[in-house]
Amino acid sequence: MTIPIKEIIFMSLESLRLKKLRTGLAMLGIIIGVAGIMVIGVMGTTGKSLIFDEIKTFGFETVWIYRKTTPQKGRSWEPKGSGIRHDDILSLKEDIPSIRWITPVVEEKEWAHSNGVEHLTRLHYVNETFIHIENDQLHSGRFLNKTDIMSLRRVCVIGHDVAQKLFPSNSPIGEQLLVGNTFYKVIGVLKEKDRDFLKSIGASSENPNGRLFVPISISLQKNGQEIDYIQLSASSADLAITTAKQVITYLKDRHQHIFDYHFSAMKNYIDSANRILGIVSWMLGISVTIAIVVGGIGIANIMTISVIERVKEIGIRKSLGARDPDIFNQFLTESIILTSCAGLIGIIFGGLIILILMIFIGKPLLFPMSFVALSFLISLTVGVISGAFPATWASKQNPAIALRYE
């Protein structure tokens, strides 16, 4: 006689209800493990998204080329100067096809004044391609163009914070701004850039909204041909490092190996971020796996104890016509119900933790439903694996021996 599945489920629930404390303790490891899977998955996905969204504000293909200031081997003296001249830039793009955009950069800290208000800015002397290299977007007005550069126009583009500080109640476009000892006409305002997450983990100390841009030609007229560094965008992120090395080789040859150079590439930062996130995910994943395995072992032990306590019941049921598969199905169903309930509670618990984290961080977290499905699937799998041995053992009990068991 085959026992209906409804009756098997009812008997399983009744058995679990009679041992509430034991059932709760058995579920605890699975609850913690499932909640951990959700939280780790969501935090990993969100962290990666936040980091890459903010890295994107630098431009994935961006490379910075600087002069290396440490003395070269075999030389106790260091030549003066930045080792990079504006005329180096002019032929680089033609000689290296993988360069998409390139700009010389001279950087200074300078006070900007307007209507009796002053604000310390990071003044950048650049050309018209800078906006493309750093993925900047305009809030209003326009960026520098070739005519501004060629004509030495006293015009500037300001960042979001500079505009808010110096022009809190009116549009800055067309206004005069005193930067150092020179007046500039504001022609554009950049949209606000968010790098708060990178700043919070110490990966970026620069405030992208406190910048001020003027034509590079003004610096060349005032200070000569030397520039601080080169900033460029490669044609693809994969070519960024190769392009940087080609530029360094070009500069060394052009300056007869008097100077040495080094580069920074966003590709390196992206790879580092991927490695760090991968290591953290693996470490947390191992911790969660241990919790689930321990929970699974706990459930297997509880189910084994349950079989021992109910040997006589098994004998009676077999003597009344229950088959081995009926006994197996009952105990396996108990295990699956136990871990399924633990999985659902773990999902709810994990959701609450994620909600608290959203409130604490102040940013929305990415919550793919695939994590919910994965968490529940894992709990079901643990239920099947943990319950298989006790259920098999229960189904193989000899009814004649089981009836005499005390």
Do 65 and 195 meet the contact criterion of CB atoms below 8 Å apart? no
Do 187 and 141 meet the contact criterion of CB atoms below 8 Å apart? yes
Alpha carbons within 13 angstroms on the beta-carbon side of residue 345 total: 15
- C-beta atoms surrounding 72 within 10 Å: 14
**Reported pTM:** 0.69
Which candidate, 255, 225, 248, places its Cα nearest to that of 125?
Answer: 225
What is the chain's pLDDT, residue by residue, as a tens digit (406 residues)?
455 566 656 665 666 666 667 777 777 878 888 888 888 878 777 777 777 777 777 777 889 999 876 655 555 545 556 678 888 888 888 889 999 999 999 999 999 999 889 999 999 999 999 999 988 899 999 999 999 999 999 999 999 999 999 998 889 999 999 999 999 999 999 998 876 666 655 556 678 899 999 999 999 998 888 899 999 999 988 898 999 999 999 998 888 777 888 898 888 877 777 787 778 778 877 877 777 787 788 888 888 887 887 778 778 877 877 788 888 887 888 788 888 888 888 888 888 988 888 888 776 777 777 777 877 888 788 888 888 888 888 888 777 776 665 6
Rounded CA separation 299/22 (Å)? 10
At 65, phi and psi to the nearest 5? Answer: -115, 125
Rounded CA separation 47/39 (Å)? 12
Strand, coil or helix: 73: coil
Rounded CA separation 329/387 (Å)? 10
Rg (CA), the chain: 34
In terms of phi and psi (left: phi > 0; alpha: psi -120 to 50; beta: otherwise), the region of 74 is: left
- For the record, the structure tokens of 70 come out as 């440490």
